Amino acid sequence: MMDTFAELFEECKATTINLRILWVDKYITMDSGHIKYIYNSGFSKFWRGHTQKEMTECFLGSGILNRDDEEWKTHRMIARPFFATDRVSDLDLFERNAQKVIDIMLNADPKGSLDLEDLFARLTVDTASEFLFGENLNTLSYTNDGFRSFTNAFMDIQALIRRRNLLGNFWPLLELFKDQSEGHKKVIRGWVDPLVVRAVQIQKEMKEKGQTVNPDECTFLEYLATTTQDVDVLRDQLLNILLAARDTTTALLSHVIYLFAVHPDVLKKAREEILELIGSEGVLTAENMRGLKYLRAVLNETMRLFTPLPMSIRDTRDSGVTLPRSDATYDSPPMYMPPKTPILFVFYLMQRNKALWGSDAEEFKPDRWFDPELQQKVSSNPAIFTPFASGPRNCLGQNYALNEATLFLVRLLQRFDEFAIDERKQLPPPWKKDPNVDTGLKNPRSGTSRKEIERIWPAFAIVIHINGGLWIRFKKASE
Q: Check residue 239 for interaction with ligand HEM (CB under 6 A).
A: no
Least separation in angstroms between CB 393 and ligand HEM? 4
* Residues 104-133 within binding reach of ligand HEM (CB under 6 A): 128
**In what order do the strands lie in the sheet containing 311-316?**
16-18, 27-29, 342-346, 311-316, 46-47
Stretch that binds ligand HEM, among 15-23, 140-148, 192-200, 238-246 (CB under 6 A): 238-246
Total residues contacting ligand HEM by CB under 6 A comes to 23
Least separation in angstroms between CB 407 and ligand HEM? 13
Q: Rounded to the nearest 10 degrees, how much is the dihedral formed by the CA atoms of 71, 125, 85, 280?
A: -170
Q: What mask, x for binding ligand HEM by CB under 6 A, covers residues 296 to 325?
A: ------------xx--x-------------
Least separation in angstroms between CB 142 and ligand HEM? 23
Stretch that binds ligand HEM, among 95-103, 218-226, 357-365, 391-399 (CB under 6 A): 391-399
C-beta closer to ligand HEM: residue 270 or 303: 303
Among 38, 55, 116, 252, binds ligand HEM (CB under 6 A): 252
Among 27, 260, 400, 471, binds ligand HEM (CB under 6 A): 400
Q: Check residue 76 for interaction with ligand HEM (CB under 6 A).
A: yes
Least separation in angstroms between CB 324 and ligand HEM? 19
Q: Check residue 63 for interaction with ligand HEM (CB under 6 A).
A: no
Q: How far is CA 442 from CA 3, 179, 341, in A?
A: 10, 40, 30
Contacts of 119 (CB under 8 A, 6+ apart): 101, 104, 105, 140
Stretch that binds ligand HEM, among 97-105, 239-247, 285-293, 328-336 (CB under 6 A): 239-247
Contact call for residues 30 and 386 (beta carbons, < 8 A): no
Q: How far is CA 470 from CA 98, 118, 205, 240, 261, in A?
A: 18, 8, 45, 25, 11
Q: Check residue 65 for interaction with ligand HEM (CB under 6 A).
A: yes
Q: Beta partners for 337?
A: 321
Stretch that binds ligand HEM, among 110-118, 187-195, 269-277, 387-395 (CB under 6 A): 387-395
Tally the C-alpha atoms within 13 A of residue 214's C-alpha that lie toward its C-beta: 2
Cα–Cα distance measured from residue 27 to residue 313, given in angstroms and rounded to the nearest whole number: 10
Cα–Cα distance measured from residue 29 to residue 378, given in angstroms and rounded to the nearest whole number: 20
* Residues 22-51 within binding reach of ligand HEM (CB under 6 A): none
Among 121, 395, 407, 421, binds ligand HEM (CB under 6 A): 395
C-beta closer to ligand HEM: residue 113 or 222: 222
Among 42, 366, 397, 447, binds ligand HEM (CB under 6 A): 397
Contact call for residues 277 and 271 (beta carbons, < 8 A): no
Cα–Cα distance measured from residue 69 to residue 133, given in angstroms and rounded to the nearest whole number: 26
Cα–Cα distance measured from residue 94 to residue 126, given in angstroms and rounded to the nearest whole number: 10
Contacts of 351 (CB under 8 A, 6+ apart): 303, 304, 305, 307, 357, 384, 385, 387
Amino acid at 237: Q
Specify the pairing of strand 114-115 against strand 46-47: unpaired
DSSP secondary structure string for all residues of 373-437: HHHHHHHH-GGG--TT--GGG--TTHHHHHHHHHHHHHHHHHHEEEEEE-TTTSPPPHHHH-TTS
C-beta closer to ligand HEM: residue 245 or 267: 245
DSSP secondary structure string for all residues of 251-316: HHHHHHHHHHHH-HHHHHHHHHHHHHHT-SS----HHHHHH-HHHHHHHHHHHHHS-SS-EEEEEE
Among 304, 393, 465, 473, binds ligand HEM (CB under 6 A): 393
Among 262, 389, 459, 461, binds ligand HEM (CB under 6 A): 389
C-beta closer to ligand HEM: residue 113 or 369: 369
Q: What are phi and psi of 303, to 5 degrees?
A: -70, -25
Least separation in angstroms between CB 63 and ligand HEM? 9
Q: Check residue 249 for interaction with ligand HEM (CB under 6 A).
A: yes
Q: Check residue 396 for interaction with ligand HEM (CB under 6 A).
A: yes
C-beta closer to ligand HEM: residue 440 or 463: 463
Amino acid at 92: D
Q: Check residue 158 for interaction with ligand HEM (CB under 6 A).
A: no
Q: Check residue 244 for interaction with ligand HEM (CB under 6 A).
A: yes
Stretch that binds ligand HEM, among 157-165, 229-237, 245-253, 321-329 (CB under 6 A): 245-253
Is the CA virtual torsion 118, 121, 124, 125 positive or negative?
negative
Q: Check residue 64 for interaction with ligand HEM (CB under 6 A).
A: yes
C-beta closer to ligand HEM: residue 223 or 400: 400
Stretch that binds ligand HEM, among 199-207, 217-225, 242-250, 272-280 (CB under 6 A): 242-250
Interface contacts to ligand HEM, rule CB under 6 A:
64-65, 76, 79, 128, 241, 244-245, 248-249, 252, 308-309, 312, 387-389, 393, 395-397, 400-401
